[in-house]
Amino acid sequence: MGTELLAASAEARHVFALADGITGIPISRLCAEGPLDRLTQTDVAQPAVVATSLAALALLRERVGVEADAVAGHSVGEFAAYVAAGVLTAEDAFKLVSARAQAMASACKTVDGAMAAVIGLDEAALRAACAAASDNGSSVEVANVNSPGQLIVSGARDAIERFAAHARAAGARRILPLNVGGPFHSVYMRPAAATLASASAETRFKPARIPVVLNVSAEVTQDPRALRHELEVQVYSPVRWTETLRRLAGLGCDRFLEVGPGQVLAGLVRRTLPDVKVASFGAPGDLPAAESLIA
């Protein structure tokens, strides 16, 4: 992950060097060499995603020289989005995402948690199934509203097992366990949010240069106070990605470029906004598609 960016751009190499130095973890080596089981652990995966996203952004700016009209990031991607919008420096983004990742990894150790994708169930039925499967000691809740027909739940593993029975009875076509480190975007992450709030209180947040659409509310803001608060609450709140994309479209955005590893978000854009143009940029080979989108 990110190795082609490292080879193509001095600025990308600088981004990874920052990630290595600030986190104290050899992010660049783990991205290039693995092992995969270490790269996918929470304390590594989150700064690695941000590093790859920011390295891709650096190469994109270097080669194409374009700036976005508005920006959003999915979950940990909000850190990269904030850098793109001038809210945080790359250095501060890595400090905060490192604090977030370590705090979330610690929170995951307190519960046998899991996440699952649910296909073919609407949000109202999903919430009803979550409520039916939850009790005071073991709960499951909506974690991501990713696109029409694709929702993610998160919580205690036994609650998710109970949820699966309710969801199938309600008509869910598929329930797919996710390979993640724990119950992200659920009540079990509240201790991590408190840690992140302490870290962000010592960090300067600048007004965004361009509109930012927030995960938790899908509201548009450039206010540094709202942007700071968002990073805290989104740790334990659902990512309202479908509403986020529709809000961006409402701002007049008709071309969407996913910047970072993979093409998952581009797929979600296509399912949610079938009439817009979309491309992904995560490696030098993606430059023609990005240039074609922007032209």
Q: Over the chain, what HEC string results? A: CCHHHHHHCHHHHHHHHHHHHHHCCCHHHHHHHCCHHHHCCHHHHHHHHHHHHHHHHHHHHHHCCCCCCCECCCCCHHHHHHHHCCCCCHHHHHHHHHHHHHHHHHHHCCCCEEEEEEECCCHHHHHHHHHHHCECCECEEEEEEEECCEEEEEEEHHHHHHHHHHHHHHCCCEEEECCCCCCCCCHHHHHHHHHHHHHHCCCCCCCCCCCEECCCCCCEECCHHHHHHHHHHCCCCCECHHHHHHHHHHCCCCEEEEECCCCHHHHHHHHHCCCCEEEEECCHHHHHHHHHHHC
Q: What is the pLDDT of residue 295?
A: 79
194-218: per-residue pLDDT in tens? 999 999 999 999 999 999 999 999 9
Mean pLDDT of 131-142: 94
Taking all residues of the chain, what is their mean pLDDT, rounded to a whole number?
95
User: 154 near 186, Cβ under 8 Å?
Assistant: yes
- What are the chain's domains? 3-108+188-294 (3.40.366.10), 113-182 (3.30.70.250)
240-280: per-residue pLDDT in tens? 999 999 999 999 999 999 999 999 999 999 999 999 999 99
Does pLDDT of 294 surpass 90? no
Does pLDDT of 186 surpass 90? yes
Does pLDDT of 65 surpass 90? no
14-57: per-residue pLDDT in tens? 999 999 999 999 999 999 999 999 999 999 999 999 999 999 99
* Residues catalogued as catalytic: 75, 185
- This prediction has a pTM of 0.95
